[in-house]
Structure 1
Amino acid sequence: MTFLGLTAEMLARLQFAFTVSFHFLFPAFSIGTASFLAVLNGLWLWKRDEAYLKLFEYWKTIFAITFGMGVVSGIVMSYQFGTNWARFSDKAGAVIGPLMGYEVLTAFFLEAGFLGIALFGRKRVGDTMHMVAVVAVAVGTLISATWITSANSWMHTPAGFSIDAAGSFVPEDWWAIVFNPSFPYRMTHTVLAAFLTTAFAVGGVGAWHLLHNEENRQSRIMFSMAMWMAAIVTPIQIFVGDQHGLNTLEHQPAKIAAMEGHFETHENGAPLILFGIPDDEAEVTRYALEIPKLGSLILTHHLNGRVQGLKDWPRQDRPPALMPFITFRVMVGIGFLMLALGIWSLYARAKGSLYSNRALLRSALIMGPSGFVAVLAGWYTTEVGRQPYTIYGLLRTSDSLSPVSAPAVGTSLLAFIAVYFIVFGTGTFYLLKLMRRVPELTEDPELDRGPTRAAGTTPGPAQDDPMGGENVH
């Protein structure tokens, strides 16, 4: 039985992809925003410069809404393990269940326990305890990313388990399970992606306000900090991505073949296919624009390195090539645009035009949402590239599905689409409205003076931001 011509398996995959896509956007932003708030609060306590306090108050509301939408979307997503993927839960629950449980027991409780203090408790608990709470929330988001990424990585590079007579995965070595072969690379790549997502969102907001008033000090600070992140973190992310690719080539070579659009095995050096259209049926990448040998140099670090093609695997064991091929290039392309903007900002900073270069500001504004696009493209690349398996090489997606009918899954998918676009569309609209506010006044005007009086100091003249932003005009 099908629904709109789609099978229950395809509909269940689409439903999970749809809900995870929404969910992934919010943690990707909140992880970076939580750390950004910790830095801002630390700078406020160190310098007693109210510009940092105002920025903290400005971004804390945005963080709170993002965090809330992430929690709600995560709860909805997790229910699908029982409704649509019960066989997967039955087979892999002994491994995946504890990892998800550890995330709740450590990260979520830490975040929930300190979130209220971080958002509303400054005047009630004092500066020191408030700073502890802000750092605890930031650390909690990173711990959450660690457990979730570990569970996801294990599905790509399973380790530390045995399979019993019923075909279920039984934990044998939790160290090997948690720190599975792809985990260090995936974890680092994911966290850096979250930081860059936040940096470019913050930079886009700062650019928006500087285009309207380049003298606004808070806008200058947030834009300067964001551009430093772009210039410093993007090259690191590109290097980490390269190392992650080498790890994927070792453990999931079929995924690499799909990402690169190679159907034929290249024994003496594979070309880099810049553009093309992979055709799984014809087993060829049409209209390919290639650079000879460069693919092997990137993938194996040798000009004549051997790169397998998809024809080395039976058709039923191959991932589809078209989507990983396209989304991988979207992710990489955005990464190099981020690098270019970071380098451009360094040049503008050296020339003293960081805040007045309107072409740079417009480019930063356009690049504001680029991190969100990149993390989704990266997720589509790695997850579609894992097909046709949920646990790579061991448990097929078709064997993970609950005994559900296509109309039931299709109806719930349509309901999800309607509700998500209403609820999260409204939330996103409100976030954009908050970002349009000029970052000048705190939500509680007395908050600007309260901590300063409590510290026994008086507001002084404007100080330079920690990255030297105020020295550039």
Structure 2
Amino acid sequence: MLDTLMLSRIQFAANISFHILFPTITIALCWFLVFFKVRFDITGNPVWMRAYRFWVKIFALTFALGVVSGITMSFQFGTNWPGFMEKVGNIAGPLLGYEVLTAFFLEATFLGIMLFGIKRVPPKMHTLACVIVALGTTLSAFWILSLNSWMQTPAGFELRDGIAYPTDWLAIIFNPSFPYRLMHMLLASGLTASFFIIGISCYRVIKGDDKQAPKLTLKVALVVAAVLSPMQAFVGDLHGLNTLQHQPQKVAAMEGVWQSEKGAPLLLFAIPDEQTRANHFEIGIPKMASFILTHDTNGEIKGLDEFKGEHPPVKPVFFSFRIMVGLGLLMIVMSWVALYQLKKRGHLPNWLMRAFVALTFCGWIATLAGWYVTEVGRQPYLVSGVLKVSDAATQIAPANVGFSLALYLTVYAILLVAYLHTVFLMARRAVEIEEFDLSEQGVKRTPTNTESAYV
């Protein structure tokens, strides 16, 4: 039988896993919308408005699910984790409040103009609303990542009778892992949105949409993916070095290093065994883990045996890390192969478009794997070195948590299926046969024949 602690952990994991899917798309997708809208304002070319009008609908649907799931997730601080707010609420509460005041209110205020004001406000005002909503989504990520990073690498506080009190808000906000974690997440959002746009655009083309809008969005997203994917690899390396400095037990679990060793191999595959504290079926590259993490082939990596009782479960961290890295490498290869094909042939071959459709939500999988590395890798602590998970959990009956968990999982499964169905249904119906009145956007001219061909 699962106890209250494990059920509460599963419930929060289910909530955060479902919730993070949608901000991961909207944070970057909103900036794509800004680009489409600005390009239309500058050129007056209807194809950019076609792109904007399709993707703003996807954005609205995704944003709505992100808001709803975020609200239910926040309830758990009181219902399942009362010890969290009791012990570190003096820090977590203000940071969450800043997110609401500076980001969510900003988004909520201008979202209506962005979604419904295109025919009701001047073009520049509408574009400004798009920019402000995009800034709001990025600010949300800033504050949430600041809190999450503080839980990984706490700083700028002192403990009085077991309660954390802030002493330096700048040190709290810009804690040691925050810059790396923020950049890693923003790039992850950019890649998730890019492959999302690529996949849906390819799906539309495969379904017979021969218009220019999906072809244009496909090219734009491919360029973004090709640029961001190697950047993500570089930032990920910096993030790993930071983690090695502040959370060596997490890195040891990621690499499957049980005893401290110099010249540790990079394990491409293994099956960690916590009973024997060893790995089975190892396939590795000699000394490569030490080289990557310490930039020295004989560099030392601390083993899990130095953190007995203080290190995370190894298998989830070990495999999640490899899924994240594997998908990241796949994104680099796919985006650069596609750009080469575009340059060589002027279009993507059918097999490659079908592959991108299959990878439409690969960013979701990579992001979830990365978050599991981050969150499971912090165990057994909720706030590293300050508050253990077991000390923060509720004491209510397991049956109560199990009942709410079952409801959450049922509702989330229905919502996720409905979301996926709706996105692909919108793609199939995106025939875009209606004419867009350019005068509504302040363009006082008739499109040329060349422009009309894009519609």
Question: Which range, TM-score by smaller chain?
Answer: over 0.9
Tell me the amino acid that sits aligned with residue 309 of structure 1. Answer: G
SS in 1 for 2:257: coil
SS in 1 for 2:382: strand
Alignment check: 8 A CA contact 1:11 1:413 kept: yes
Matching residue of 1:204: 199
In structure 2, distance between residues paired with 1:340 and 1:32: 21
Tell me the amino acid that sits aligned with residue 435 of structure 1. Answer: A
Deviation at residue 77 of structure 1 after TM alignment: 0.2
Whether 2:173 is the aligned partner of 1:173: answer no
Deviation at residue 425 of structure 1 after TM alignment: 2.8
Deviation at residue 448 of structure 1 after TM alignment: 3.6
Tell me the amino acid that sits aligned with residue 397 of structure 2. Answer: S
Matching residue of 2:317: 324
Give runs of aligned pairs for residues 118-133 of structure 1, distance below 5 A. Answer: 118-133=114-129
In structure 2, distance between residues paired with 1:215 and 1:107: 39
Matching residue of 2:69: 73
Deviation at residue 446 of structure 1 after TM alignment: 5.7
Deviation at residue 463 of structure 1 after TM alignment: 5.9
Whether 2:455 is the aligned partner of 1:456: answer no
Residue 183 of structure 1: which of 178, 187, 208 is its match? Answer: 178
Alignment check: 8 A CA contact 1:55 1:439 kept: no
Q: Structure 1 98/217 Cα, relative in aligned 2: closer, same or farther at 3 Å?
A: same
Deviation at residue 457 of structure 1 after TM alignment: 1.9
Residue 275 of structure 2: which of 281, 285, 299 is its match? Answer: 281
Whether 2:94 is the aligned partner of 1:105: answer no
Q: Structure 1 462/135 Cα, relative in aligned 2: closer, same or farther at 3 Å?
A: farther
In structure 1, distance between residues paired with 2:361 and 2:39: 26
SS in 2 for 1:123: coil
Alignment check: 8 A CA contact 2:338 2:348 kept: no
Tell me the amino acid that sits aligned with residue 308 of structure 1. Answer: K
Matching residue of 1:347: 340
Q: Structure 1 410/214 Cα, relative in aligned 2: closer, same or farther at 3 Å?
A: closer
Residue 18 of structure 2: which of 15, 22, 33 is its match? Answer: 22
Residue 59 of structure 1: which of 45, 55, 59 is its match? Answer: 55
In structure 1, distance between residues paired with 2:210 and 2:394: 59
Whether 2:77 is the aligned partner of 1:89: answer no
Q: Structure 1 356/215 Cα, relative in aligned 2: closer, same or farther at 3 Å?
A: farther
Per-residue displacement from partner, 1:307-347 (whole Å, max 9, x unpaired)? 01101112x21100000111110000000000001110221
Tell me the amino acid that sits aligned with residue 371 of structure 2. Answer: W
In structure 2, distance between residues paired with 1:235 and 1:462: 36
Tell me the amino acid that sits aligned with residue 458 of structure 1. Answer: T
In structure 2, distance between residues paired with 1:391 and 1:130: 42
In structure 2, distance between residues paired with 1:419 and 1:219: 32
Whether 2:429 is the aligned partner of 1:437: answer yes
Q: How many residues align?
A: 454
In structure 2, distance between residues paired with 1:305 and 1:47: 55
Matching residue of 1:144: 140
Deviation at residue 214 of structure 1 after TM alignment: 7.3
Tell me the amino acid that sits aligned with residue 457 of structure 1. Answer: R
Alignment check: 8 A CA contact 1:219 1:439 kept: no
Unaligned runs of 5+ in 2: none
Alignment check: 8 A CA contact 1:58 1:439 kept: no
Alignment check: 8 A CA contact 1:83 1:402 kept: yes
Deviation at residue 41 of structure 1 after TM alignment: 0.4
Q: Structure 1 179/359 Cα, relative in aligned 2: closer, same or farther at 3 Å?
A: same
Whether 2:236 is the aligned partner of 1:247: answer no
SS in 2 for 1:440: coil
Deviation at residue 359 of structure 1 after TM alignment: 2.4
Deviation at residue 212 of structure 1 after TM alignment: 3.6
> Quick check: 318-327 or 455-464, which moved more?
455-464
In structure 2, distance between residues paired with 1:181 and 1:344: 37
Matching residue of 2:296: 302
> Quick check: 136-145 or 428-437, which moved more?
428-437
Alignment check: 8 A CA contact 1:269 1:296 kept: yes
Question: What CA RMSD, in Å, does the superposition of the two structures yield over aligned residues?
Answer: 1.6
In structure 2, distance between residues paired with 1:462 and 1:146: 43
In structure 2, distance between residues paired with 1:398 and 1:195: 35
Whether 2:252 is the aligned partner of 1:272: answer no
SS in 1 for 2:9: helix
Tell me the amino acid that sits aligned with residue 206 of structure 2. Answer: L
